[in-house]
Amino acid sequence: MNKQVLCSFILLFTGLLSGQNTQKSDELYKDQTPLEIKLGYSNKDLNRNTDDSTFITTSMSYFHNDKWLDIEVNLRARGNFRRNKCYFPPVKMKIKKAQYSGTLFDGNKTMKLVMPCLIENENNDNVLQEFIAYKIYEKISPFHFKTKRVNIEFTEPRGKKMKSFQLKGFLIEDDKRVAKRHEGKVMERFIHPMAMQHLTSVQNAFFQYLLGNTDFSVAYQHNGKLLYVNKEIIPLPYDFDMTGWVNPSYATVNTTLGINSVKDRKYRGFKREKQYFDEVREQFIDKKDSIMYMVGSYESEFSDPKEFQTMIEFMGSFYEILEDNSKFEKSIVAEARTK
């Protein structure tokens, strides 16, 4: 076993061990049953009157231990594209320690709340598809965000009337919680991808390829963060809506990559030693049944069976490439970037 492979093995092993470190914040994500919550605010106010340092304050009700409880939360709109294009902008949520201490949210000072983008038939299915993407990555890498599904009764003032929506959504833990779990820290500066740990970088690239995602940059931390763990730099991906996997109505395509649809895959990982491609390829193939079973377990929760079927077929096309030597070499290995 050469030095690089040994280092990769040690990193993965220590990551798995450190991933067992528990925090108060983990309690929220332990039970994967969707949490029932009630929220109310004006989307216009959220978009117009919040920024990186300005929040609106509201009460959030949640059903826990057979009763409804209230907690004060501070919210702001986040993201660029979805903030401008979506009826329901994605939300960053902050909770003061005095509010979360001793509750289900203990330790979760900051979280993201993902909700549907638009008011349309497939909006809840799109959120479910994005949530499932996070669950897939949990099976691939110990370095991932914990997530918690929520069913949201959302009430919005419209003039003198109130409009109610029944929405699916999910909470994402803060990146600093992920870093602390692995006894590392979050990095916030440009790092060339080839300076990042090889194995986890290839895992991330294969995962993005599975999703048909080109809307990310590990170097510039676009739809991703970087962790510094055991003197290694680890990519930590998030935001998977603009993908072939979700294929939302508002998706835009980066045609400069030679693709015409978000369902056209383009491998965006960097060229590394072939052994890492082979190792991660084998990992995805070995976990195929487990991943497919997990994805299939959500079938009954889709409003439109076609959305689920399209998603399954898209995953199938990924494995067709992975399991065929010629397609694998042509579509992934040969496409790896050098700059």
Residue spans per domain, the chain:
31-114+144-175, 184-333
> In terms of DSSP bridges, do strands 147-158 and 35-40 run parallel, antiparallel, or are they unpaired?
parallel
Residue-wise pLDDT tens digits, 252-262: 999 999 999 99
CB 241 within 8 A of CB 126: yes
Q: pTM for this one?
A: 0.92
* CA gap 158, 120 in Å, rounded: 19
Residues in the chain: 339
The type of residue at 58 is T
Instruction: Write down the residue that tokens 């003198």 correspond to.
Output: 160
Q: Two tokens at 14? A: 């220590």
- pLDDT tens per residue across all 339 residues of the chain: 454 444 455 445 544 444 458 899 999 999 999 999 999 999 999 988 888 889 999 999 999 999 999 999 999 998 777 777 899 988 999 999 999 999 999 999 999 999 999 988 888 999 999 999 999 999 999 999 999 999 999 999 988 889 999 999 999 999 999 999 999 999 999 999 999 999 999 999 999 999 999 999 999 999 999 999 999 999 999 999 999 999 999 999 999 999 999 999 999 999 999 999 999 999 999 999 999 999 999 999 999 999 999 999 999 999 999 999 999 999 999 999 998
> In terms of DSSP bridges, do strands 91-94 and 110-114 run parallel, antiparallel, or are they unpaired?
antiparallel
* CA gap 337, 140 in Å, rounded: 22
Residue-wise pLDDT tens digits, 36-54: 999 999 999 998 888 888 9
